[in-house]
Structure 1
Amino acid sequence: MTDENQDALVLRQDQGHVARLILNSPANYNALSRAMIDSLSAALDDLAQSDMRVVIIAAQGKAFCAGHDLREFQAARGDDDGGRAAYETLFAQCAAMMQKLPALPQPVIAEVQGIATAAGCQLVASCDLAVAAQGVRFGVNGVNIGLFCSTPMVALSRAIPPRAAFELLVTGDFIDADRAQDLGLVNRVVAADVLTAETMALAQIIAAKLPAAIRMGKRAFHQQQGMSLADAYASTGPVICENLLRADTAEGIQAFLEKRKPDWD
């Protein structure tokens, strides 16, 4: 299925069990305006209720996402309160949208074809996996204009080592895709001309696994992060037991023992 409204801020293309969401505002570098946040949030809500197995977030144009819309920031300064209410609402909406990514039942892969800055880098860090084109740059560079990227920091500091995250936040420096891979922000770096194909190939590998196991596993993965070692084992033990008790898991194990493909369809 291809989104019929080609002017929509977020397009959706389905290929088999994989849904591809495409940020479609290249004129402003796919900035996370209020409208873009609302559109992406609504698309994620739809997918949460669907039987799709993997989600890809991609983008049109030169940039993956250049962060928040600075023109919206400046326009809000004309409000009676100097923009406080508008800013509080915007960041609450953005935080809620970002949190939908790890909460989504399906694994989410960022397909990064262009620069990802500030909240755009936050978007990449909030996805479960990321594939980037060679030469792509990442940064949380708000400090260069006097704005510390406090909210992007939340996702970034959970995706890469804290000292590396803090260095990026206080210097405003950019890193290339290879360095981003070294730090763990992206999983794979590929040639630009095969980015979509390589991202889809990764998605199809995941989509071929038992959907129930992937959904249970993703939920458990995010729940145990930040727990103590003992609490993490206490949390995941019941999950793997429930997984083992499933009939389709019994079929998967038996198929392995009999050296055949599992009958999951």
Structure 2
Amino acid sequence: MPDGTTPLLLRADGDHGVTRLVLNRPEARNSLSFAMLGALADALAGIAADPRVRVVVLAAAGPVFSAGHDLREITAHRADADGGRAFFAAAMRRCAEVMQAVVALPQPVIAEVQGIATAAGCQLVATCDLAVAVEGARFCTPGVDIGLFCSTPAVALSRAVAAKPAMEMLLTGAMIGAEEARRIHLVNRVVPAAELEAATMELAARIAARSAHAVRVGKAAFHRQRGLPLDQAYEHCAAVMTENLLAEDAAEGIGAFLGKRTPVWKDR
């Protein structure tokens, strides 16, 4: 925590089952320190088990979404007896666990990007299921500029955008604007700063109005099939859809559609 009392991560449970998590370390550009990653991990674990949460919005305080790993913290651990090896390995492992927790979370996660997202901060945006950014937002993976290739951010980036734009970002460290980020599919929408929270929450509310059961099984199936050969992907998703069709919400939703009425979800 910055001063021993200010939380690193703020949580607000709002209407329609939308929960906001806010990175709250603006004085350090919301860098992903070991403690910040721990706070994220704990919050995600709690949300995963909370059926009241239907969608998560991940936002940040201050002018920067996240500058990535805390380079001051990393530098301080070079004085460790092992030159920092154990801490570096633990930090990379914890970061990877958090990114995987976002993907594995039953609820969709929307990044609300109000400023710059660099290195592991850009990785976090790429990891989220959806992203809404302000017109002035910028993104980069600049590790190559300081002799540290953004190898772990490359995992998320290469899964969010095509190989060549991802490699250009990784090899040059160049900053790209919000419109370019939308063009390469790093973000979904770009809006004026004054509309950012409203636009993000509108998107979140639209998703939250759907069957939570269908969204949960759909998100899991989407991420699972991406790593499978085509035939196995269809086999897996056909099995998922079969089970989904047997669920109460599917029967309700289809019945409501045919009967021209609004469905009443039971989320099962």
TM-score bracket for this pair, using the shorter chain length = over 0.9
Matched residue, 1:50: 50
How far residue 6 of structure 1 moved from its aligned partner, in angstroms, is 7.8
Matched residue, 2:69: 68
2:227, 2:99 → 1: CA distance?
18
* SS at 1:77 equivalent: helix
How far residue 264 of structure 1 moved from its aligned partner, in angstroms, is 2.1
Number of aligned residues? 261
Residue deviations 1:155-184 (CA, integer Å, cap 9, x gap): 001100111111111101010000000001
Supply the AA of the counterpart residue of 1:175.
Answer: I
Matched residue, 1:11: 10
Matched residue, 1:249: 250
Structure 2 unmatched runs, 5+: none
Q: Are 1:208 and 2:205 matched, yes or no?
A: no
Matched residue, 1:23: 23
2:251, 2:145 → 1: CA distance?
55
Matched residue, 1:99: 100
Percent identity (aligned): 56
In the TM superposition, 1:116-127 aligns within 5 A as: 116-127=117-128
In the TM superposition, 1:1-265 aligns within 5 A as: 7-16=6-15, 17-51=17-51, 52-264=53-265
Residue deviations 1:104-145 (CA, integer Å, cap 9, x gap): 000000000010000000000110000000010000011111
1:55, 1:119 → 2: CA distance?
19
Against the structure 1 CA distance between its residues 6 and 77, is the aligned structure 2 distance closer, same or farther, given a 3 Å change threshold?
closer
Supply the AA of the counterpart residue of 1:31.
Answer: S
Supply the AA of the counterpart residue of 2:11.
Answer: R
Report the TM-score when normalising by structure 1: 0.97
1:213, 1:247 → 2: CA distance?
10
Report the TM-score when normalising by structure 2: 0.96
1:246, 1:93 → 2: CA distance?
36
1:9, 1:44 → 2: CA distance?
14
